[in-house]
Structure 1
Amino acid sequence: MSGAPKVAAAPRLYDRTSELATVAALSARAAEGAGSVLLLTGRPGIGRTALLDRAVRDSRVRAHRVAAPTGNRVPWSGVRALLSALAPTPSAARRALRTARGTGGVPGALEALCPGEPLLLCLDDLHRWDAYSRTSLDVAWRGNPGPWAWVVSFAAYHRPPDVPGARLLSLGRLSRAGAGALLDDRCRASLTTSFRSRLLDEAAGHPGVLAAAAARVSAGPERGVGRPDTLTDDALLSEVYRGLLDSLPAECGRVLTLVAVAGEPRPGTGEPDPAAGRPTATGPVGADAVRPVGADAVLAVTRAVRASPEALDRLVADGFLCGPREALRFEDPLLRRAVLGTLPPPRRRELHALVAPSAGAGAGTGTGTGTEAVEGNGTAPHSPVTPEDPRALSSAPRTPADVRVPPDAPPAPEAVRARPDVLRGRAELARGVAGLGDGPVGDAHQVLLLASSLLREGAPEDAAEARFLAMEAAWAAGDPEACATALRGGGLDGEHPGSSACATAEADPAERDFREGMCAALGARLQDAHAPLARVVARDGTSGEPRRLVRAGAAALVLGDAPTAVRVHTRALATVRATAGSTLLPRVLEHLAYAELRAGQHERAAAHARDGLRTAELAGQRNPAAHQHAILALAASVRGDAQAVVEHADRALRTARAHGLVQATTLAEWAIARAELAGGLAAQAAARLAPLVGRGPRGGHFALRMLVVPCFVEAACAAGREADAGTAAEEFAVWAGFGLDPQAPAQLARCRALLAGTGDPADWYREAVRHHEDSGNDFERARTLLAYGKWLRRRRRLVEARGPLGDALVTFERAAAGVWADQARAELRATGGPVRGRAVPGAAGELTPQQQRIAGLVAAGATNHEIADRLSVSPRTVDHHLRNVFARLGVRSRVELSGLLSRTTGDGHRSDR
């Protein structure tokens, strides 16, 4: 990492006059206190770092260039490098980093180090910075760039930061004159006119290629001065592009290599053998003849090199590859040759043997695959990186040079690879997975069913994966019938349980158990679901394959075993990260966060949801991002952060409603309702929850209906809707009897107590507390204790109420459930019991605890009816207490009361706490 305020010598630049003028204007505005952001991009070797060094040298204000930290992307390492470059001492840098990681953010840290000082901050290779640093910088640039000018460099093929108003500069190649000047400056050897012209032609204005070629010429004749046809060969280009090739995910590197090899002349056809070490270009760089490459031909052999179909989709989405589907090509011809330059001749021949049969089966012709009818216009896939990797990736090397056919995975028979249905099926599988990550999940469900029916004969393992993903799409859409159809192998052409696709599932005991168990659960035959799903958890829960672990975790959740689901998904997360399976990461984090939420581990769920949200957003996967926003909203409803609940829920609903994500919609609405209930808006919460616990098209997600019922019963009872609450509770009682949720018995007893059913409500509360001791969810236990304590206080059993209320208060505080702790604290104070907390100063200290509570709510703007709902008393009781408050404090109106409390407590809105 670097961060010198000035460079030792000004690097000479060529053809960059306008770019330097733009940076100079940026620096001038910073000197006047006007901050702004300039985004700088370009291909490898194009001169981004040299431009930043020159900008630092010429800046009118203090300037630094900060490179991407080397090695692993340690969280916050990028921001740490930035602050270390600015700080006078290491201790000052550490203090600033604490500020950046806290509420002050990066602007607060910069202001602490350089108060009011204009700066030019040049951040190099932002795409290689850690996610935490990139996110914190995004927030800073969107909110308050401060009196600082930012020049942010990132490589082409990476999505630029989303900064409103930022200018984007893309560095291009040099003119003939500029390239000649660079060559003359860098080359120490004497060049003839023809040799110099040939060199400029081959480099085609690329600064990095010119510099590398000049270095090779300067090394002497033994390095090839006498052989001009080798000066810009593939090996030299691989050196120039080494940084980009090393940064590619392993599976993308393997697929990129397949495309490069598939476009070469075929050995044995009379054309030159590209693996023999001879250059493939004799004219300008990248002007060599390239055979057309069909996407279907590449997809047909990705499995043989342990890559996934989604990797091809990602390469197209990121701009590495372009062109129509039947004739893909490299967007940058130099990159194609650089990829080939990493391959030793034996491996190159191996890959030629692998891709040749598939390419001959229709690649480049657009015929024989049937894909054009599905794609409509025949274009290549254009969706962003997808959330699912249908095949568990191995921990393979990360560069295209390491691509090889694994010894334990021989190529599929030529007849299978060349089958049009297999080629088209794998293409549809990739398209369906893309839609599952970002698009209407109903569409993804249909595409995945089509893929399953196309693959069931020639690629049964892929067909099984397509069925599983189709089930997941239907699950997200809240369609149990479609889930069962996918599990049973119901393809678009009438596929049925007796088909060969289902026979494959029968051959795998785990596949069979998962299908039978899930179909039984979806059909409300829960007694039949337990045994097969338990076998799935036992068999796959210790697997080293992420797909099987995700399946085992899903089975554990259906069984109501949230702790086991957390353990299994944690193992899946570790496995995915260890094997560089980046495409699976958002989905695994989504499943893990949800499992932790079910287990009552709200803070851990929020931490993984934030991680998953960043990962999904960086990958362009809006569907997993919406689900993570919904989980963050639910976690915020526990803390009592109403603003965070609304923000996350709104962002979740924005995508969920457009893409048919019923599960995310239900979670987001539940979060809003729980925040309303905590804030005393019981009637509003009950109205919001009522559709979620009902059936039909307006209902919530089928797997969440019963989980929402206890919250609805509490809100409905407080809002006077006992009849609706009773109906929902009776259905909940039937479901609780199946024993698939350890929380259900305690929650059912609490519902009985709230409804004041048969027997003494106190007996129901005590039974609920007993059941909570075995369930392990402290937050739900504290809610039961709070409800019990409220009921005892309303019946003047003040001494008895102090025990459950005090226990609830301690548990809520331990869980960081602020608003719920406030309720328990206020109730405990109303019983006359000791309450740890800040004293109420001034005139408010003359009031009783209940009067303080009412006065604080009045000062916050609540009406008498709202206060009555919040405190579970009648409006007449509120009016009585309020008159006594007025008399004791000598005020005559609610406005005067609010002003008095604001002056005496400094925060009239919190004088009741």
Structure 2
Amino acid sequence: MKPTGGLWVSRNLSSQARARVKISGMGWRAEGRTLIGREGEQQQLAELCDRARAGESGVLVIHGEAGIGKTVLLAVMLAGAENGCRAVRIVGAESEMELAYAGMQQLCGPLLGLIDGLPDPQKNALAIALGLREGSAPDRLLVGLAVLTLLGDAGAERPTVCVIDDAQWVDHASLQALTFAARRLLADRVVMVFATRTPEARPELNGLPDLKLDRLTHADADRLLSEVMPGQLDQTVRENILAEADGNPLALLELRHAMVPAVLAGGYGLAAATSVAKRIEREYEQRLHELPQATRTLLLLAAAEPTGDSVRLWAAAAQLQIDADAGVPAERAGLITVESRLRFRHPLVRSAIYRNATPSERRQAHAALAEAASDPAANEHRAWHRAHSVSAPDEAVAAELVRSAERARRRGGAAAAAAFLAYAVELTPDPRCRAERALDAALSKLDAGDPEAATQLLAAVAGTEDELIQARTDLVRAKIAFAAQRGRDAPPLLLAAAQRLQPLDPALARSTYLDALMAAMIVGRLSVEDGASATAIATAARRAPPPAGPPTAADLFLEGIILRLAEGHAAAAPVLQRAINQYLTEDAAGLADPRSHDITLRVLLDLLDQDTYNSINKRQLEQLDAAGELTVLPAALTTYAGVCVTAGEFEQAANLLAQSEAISTATGGPPHSSIQTYLAACRGQEDLARELARTTIEDATARGEGSEIAVVLFALAILNNGLCQYDEALAACTSALEYDDVGMRGHLVNEMVEAAARSGDTSTALSGAQQMLEFAETTGTATALGYCARAKALTATDSAAEDEYRTAIEHLERSPLKVMTARTHLIFGEWLRRENRRGEARKELRTAHDMFVQMGADGYAERTRRELQAAGGISRGDRSRTSTTTLTTQESYIARLAGDGYSNSEIASHLFISPRTVEWHLSRIFAKLGLSSRRELRKAGDQRPKQARGKQFSES
């Protein structure tokens, strides 16, 4: 049998075994099927397959230099896995790295029969990603969830082994989806093994279990050399060969082709100064020169066609009048295998072929492949090949690349879109059009997470004298700075861009002024330049051109934020209220700018309009969940968790924070910890709250997010007020109010009044009460009126306090601020007890205690219990709640969702795990709680307080 797949070291294998496995890159022994020097690694991979057969998952990243034996080790693993396992193989190709979801095409081929069984959002996202249907760009995490479910379903049918070879060349979108699935496998009969040269080059692989393939020991290399070169070799020459190979198996295996025995016997021709990879590639190049021209052309077509599509390959070959027998000489030379498709023996063969071809030969090959890519699903590949077939700028080809970029973007391929646009820049003949496309390409590179490439693309704009182009360039530079530096450098750059755009593109200038203000408010107290502070930018933005037509919500937000920062809350409130009303009108009509959402929420907090804030927050979360836009979901989940904390729904808040953390962990995004601090403070978890506050402030300072610090200081004020540590609470408020964070001021002043009044700082308390009166007169919301009456009660020196307390409770009960309502019942009860009105005090304190117990605000509940006892009352104790003390956080969440009627598939989507893993968790939950069915779990859940029950936000 000819060595079509590599070198057969052992001659004792059965024909059946030969048919199953083709080995290249390492030695193979028949007895025990053991690779020389890789016995331990084989055993580790075999154990992974055994785990899949036993119902468990496994993940491994194998890494090592070129030729070290990664591919052959995977081949041996797949051969051994044939006994009862399904095998799925993906091979990365350098030429397809920038084609989004190219790797996914290989994964889904063997699993097509399972795709229809995916939940609709996952199925639709996967279909769009694969180009099977049109639609808006699918969220990459939703695609990752589809891969997780697909592999889980495959494993449920049959243990599944999925190998990803040459992972360093798998496109980013596919590798992100594959590693997302790998990190979420648990109770699935699925093994995933990645092989790559250096895992550091692909951050997606970071943190996964790994196995480094080291060079062979001298003894093992000597054994392999003996099998490769049977017969006598001069010992000095032998040692020289082993020293040069330095334990690289492929370097030893290729000696047979690289040198004739006479040269080897004499020891001449050994190029010790050349790296193993280059030496192997050079040897392949030498073999290529010995092939007929038609064969070399066929190999070049295969090297240039990343999909490996056989139909396309042979159609292109036919155009160049190359027949099917052209591949035979290359197969005999051990460079390729030809089975269902043409495959290269080693990735270095592909690179040697492509780099060895002349530019004209490459253009000819790409032109033929472009003509062969005639099916509609191949539009992007056709454009890519056409682009590589021309030798000079060509507007028609460049325009096709731009259209392909848009198709790629709709499929979620930001990296592919950026690659198409970047190549379109090179092929655009008109200088101004080239500059505009360079700016678009730079923004796409930035969206794809490559700020360095975005900066490099701006070089194409350098020679353009068009003022608008140069101003837009400044804007792109500012956005790159904001992405790279987390904000400190961005506000002044955005301001400069807005000022330069002002006479050239007024609408874009206004938008950029608003971006600069938002960036400055995020940086907040951490701004290091006077001219870059939010107040300074607001002053400069006063010179922004007026809107061309009726003002939009964004126009009104710009005007209102300028007034807010320059003249204060009272001056800005009417304009900001108009902005909110306009936003709600645009939102209802489907015209709202999604970029306005962050500023909308910040303004609503500043206006103390908690009702509208909650409803918009909830609607946004429902829309994101329904659309599957999981990449931006962590921040939205965290923000809505804050809404739940304020409403006293602590369990739901904890669940939402757990979801947010799960997504952030999967994507490697920054944690959102300030609301965790807020939750811990309201619960009265002192040690946890203080530790979270410390780490969150450190992280926020490093990132340049000063607004995050204000939220943490607010949480500390609540914690210390609850613990009756009023001096510390006042210090937290004072520190927070040193900087006017839009959105936080009113809430901080409310806490400051309580802290100052109880610590004896009368002047500060009265000043705060006056500020709350201005808020109430300006906005008139239930929250503002409640805060105002509460402040008056705390600062009153006579019986007027009683009326203000009752007024505060009346207004707060109309607001969503349940924690604040309970706290007001508490301080009113304390006031009544001091007035020796013990019976009335017990009524208020009992109401507060019941509310705190129901929420789980243990710190406040304990303080209220002590007050109630001092007033001569008996606390009712904690209401009966389902015990989850034996469950982990994730198990508790799964139990709650299952009890609320969610299916395994729905729970899996919430927690980004597979349905089989949900089933595994439920079996453990039933055992821990002594239950046997979901019905019993639902009955147990009915014992929870009403507000802790009910389905999550997606069904709210």
Give me the TM-score of the superposition, normalised by structure 1: 0.56
Give the superposition deviation at 1:512.
3.4
Residue from 809, 821, 830 that aligns with 1:769: 809
Alignment of 1:76-91 (within 5 A): none
Bigger relative contact order (CA 8 A; separation at least 6): 2
- 1:694-740 per-residue CA deviation (whole Å, 9 max, x = no partner) reads x3xxx463542331133233344455555544443444444443236
Selected match of 2:846 from 806, 809, 813:
806
**Cα deviation, residue 356, structure 1:** 5.1
Instruction: Please name the residue that 2:555 is paired with.
Output: 512
How much is the aligned-residue C-alpha RMSD, in angstroms? 6.5
**Alpha-carbon deviations, 1:787-835, whole Å to 9, x = none?**
2223334555443232222222232233333332333344434545343
Structure 1 position 384 matched with structure 2 position 449: yes
Q: SS state of the match for residue 749, structure 1?
A: helix
The alignment partner of 1:737 has SS state of: helix
* Distance change >3 Å, CA 224–CA 691, structure 1 → 2: same
Task: State the AA in 2 paired with 1:24.
Answer: Q
Label 1:120 to 1:718 Cα distance change in 2 as closer, same or farther (>3 A). Answer: farther
Tell me the equivalent position of 1:268: none
**CA shift in 2, pair 1:834/1:589, >3 Å:** closer
Distance 1:593 1:278, change over 3 A: closer
Could you tell me which of 858, 862, 868 is aligned with 1:818? 858
**Cα deviation 1:852-906 (Å, max 9, x = unaligned):** xxxxxxxxxxxxxxxxxxxxxxxxxxxxxxxxxxxxxxxxxxxxxxxxxxxxxxx
Match of 1:561 in 2: 609
User: Does the CA-based 8 Å contact 1:224-1:230 persist in structure 2?
Assistant: no
2:61 aligns to what SS in structure 1? Answer: strand
Matches within 5 A, 1:365-384: 384=449
User: More displaced, 528-537 or 24-33?
Assistant: 24-33
Please show how residues 551-700 of structure 1 align to structure 2 within 5 Å. Answer: 552-573=600-621, 611=659, 622=670, 625=671, 628-642=672-686, 644-646=688-690, 648-679=692-723, 681-693=725-737, 695=738, 699=739
* Structure 2 unpaired stretches of 5+: 1-16, 27-34, 52-56, 89-106, 109-113, 123-141, 165-173, 215-247, 258-289, 331-337, 344-358, 361-365, 375-380, 452-460, 880-956
Which residue of structure 2 lines up, in the alignment, with residue 904 of structure 1? none
Preserved contact between residue 464 and residue 470 of structure 2 (Cα < 8 Å): no
Compared CA separation, residues 597 and 81, structure 1 to 2 (3 A):
same
- Structure 1 residues 825, 430: CA separation in 2 closer, same or farther (over 3 Å shift)? farther
Contact 2:521 2:534 in 1 (8 A): yes
The 5-angstrom pairing of residues 523-562 of structure 1 reads 523-524=567-568, 526=570, 529-531=573-575, 532-544=578-590, 545-550=593-598, 552-562=600-610
TM-aligned CA deviation for residue 568 of structure 1 = 3.0
The answer on 1:24 being equivalent to 2:34 is no
Cα deviation, 1:8-41, whole Å, max 9, x if unaligned, reads 99654543779976843645999999x9974358
Q: Sequence identity of aligned pairs in percent? A: 21
Equivalent residue number for residue 490 of structure 2: 444
Q: Aligned partners of 1:228, 1:455: CA distance in 2, in Å?
A: 63
The 1:674–1:795 alpha-carbon spacing in structure 2 relative to 1, beyond 3 Å, is same
Compared CA separation, residues 160 and 648, structure 1 to 2 (3 A): farther
Deviation at 1:459, TM superposition (A): 4.4
One-letter amino acid of the counterpart of residue 616, structure 2:
V
Deviation at 1:684, TM superposition (A): 3.3
1:710-729 matches, cutoff 5 A: 710-722=750-762, 724-729=764-769
Q: What are the equivalent positions in structure 2 for 1:821-836 lying under 5 Å apart?
A: 821-836=861-876
Which amino acid in structure 1 is aligned with residue 614 of structure 2?
V
The change in CA–CA distance for 1:757 and 1:23 in structure 2 (over 3 A counts) is: farther
Specify whether residues 74 and 354 from structure 1 end up closer, same or farther in structure 2 by C-alpha distance, changes over 3 A only.
closer
Write the distance in 2 (CA, Å) between the matches of 1:122 and 1:355. Answer: 42
Residues 671-694 of structure 1: CA distance to partner in whole angstroms, max 9, x if unpaired?
Answer: 23433444454443333333223x
Contact 2:776 2:785 in 1 (8 A): yes
2:61 corresponds in structure 1 to 39
Corresponding position of 1:872: none
> 1:765 touches 1:784 (CA, 8 Å); kept in 2?
yes
Structure 2 CA distance, aligned partners of 1:203 and 1:459?
A: 48
- The one-letter code matched in structure 2 to 1:384 is G
- Equivalent-residue separation in structure 2 for 1:449 and 1:293 (angstroms): 37
Contact 1:518/1:533, CA 8 A, preserved across alignment: no
The alpha carbon displacement at 1:780 in A equals 0.6
Contact 2:753/2:769 (8 A) holds in 1? yes
Q: Does 1:128 align with 2:177?
A: yes
Secondary structure of residue in 2 paired with 1:442: coil
* CA shift in 2, pair 1:81/1:443, >3 Å: same
1:287-298 residue pairs with structure 2 within 5 A? none
Supply the distance in 2 between the matched residues of 1:506 and 1:173 (Cα, whole angstroms).
Answer: 72
Equivalent-residue separation in structure 1 for 2:690 and 2:369 (angstroms) = 60
Alignment partners' CA distance in 1, 2:301 and 2:680: 59
Aligned residue in 1 for 2:784: 744
Q: Secondary structure at the residue paired with 1:39?
A: strand
Whether the aligned pair in 1 keeps the contact of 2:642 and 2:678 (CA below 8 Å) is: no
Q: Which runs of 5+ in 1 are unaligned?
A: 1-6, 90-118, 182-190, 242-263, 266-270, 330-350, 387-414, 491-495, 840-913
1:449/1:467 contact within 8 Å kept: yes
* Correspondence for 2:747: 707
Structure 1 pair 677–450 and aligned structure 2 pair: CA distance change class (3 A) = same
Shift of 1:769: 1.4
Deviates more, 1:13-22 or 1:760-769: 13-22
Q: What does residue range 391-470 of structure 1 map to in structure 2 within 5 Å?
A: 420-437=466-483, 439-470=485-516
Indicate how the Cα distance of structure 1 residues 517 and 220 shifts in structure 2: closer, same or farther if over 3 A, else same: closer
Note if contact 2:605-2:744 (Cα within 8 Å) is conserved in structure 1. Answer: no
Quick one: which amino acid aligns to residue 524 of structure 2? G
Aligned partners of 1:649, 1:705: CA distance in 2, in Å?
19
Distance (whole Å) between structure 2 residues aligned to residue 646 and residue 163 of structure 1: 29
Structure-2-length-normalised TM-score: 0.54
C-alpha distance after superposition, 1:357-405 (max 9, x if no partner): 45764599x9xx9x99xx9xxx98699379xxxxxxxxxxxxxxxxxxx
User: Secondary structure, in 3 states, of the residue corresponding to 1:163?
Assistant: coil
Distance 1:710 1:382, change over 3 A: closer
Question: What residue is the counterpart of 2:415 in the other structure?
Answer: 315
**Once the 2 structures are TM-superposed, how far is the Cα of residue 473 of structure 1 from its aligned partner?**
0.7
Would the alpha carbon gap of residues 380 and 766 (structure 1) be closer, same or farther in structure 2, given more than 3 Å must change?
closer
Change (3 A) 1:630 1:77: same
Deviation at 1:665, TM superposition (A): 0.7
Whole-angstrom distance in 2 between the partners of 1:293 and 1:640:
67
Distance 1:466 1:286, change over 3 A: closer
Distance 1:756 1:61 in 2: 82
* Corresponding position of 2:233: none
CA 1:361 to 1:805, structure 2 compared with 1: closer, same or farther past 3 Å? same
Note if contact 1:20-1:55 (Cα within 8 Å) is conserved in structure 2.
Answer: no
Q: Give the distance between the partners of 2:722 and 2:152, measured in 1 at CA.
A: 41
Deviations 1:23-79 (A, max 9, x none): 43645999999x99743589xxxx999976853665899999898995514998877
What is the aligned partner in structure 2 of residue 521 from structure 1?
A: 564
Label 1:174 to 1:760 Cα distance change in 2 as closer, same or farther (>3 A). Answer: farther
1:261 maps to what in 2? none
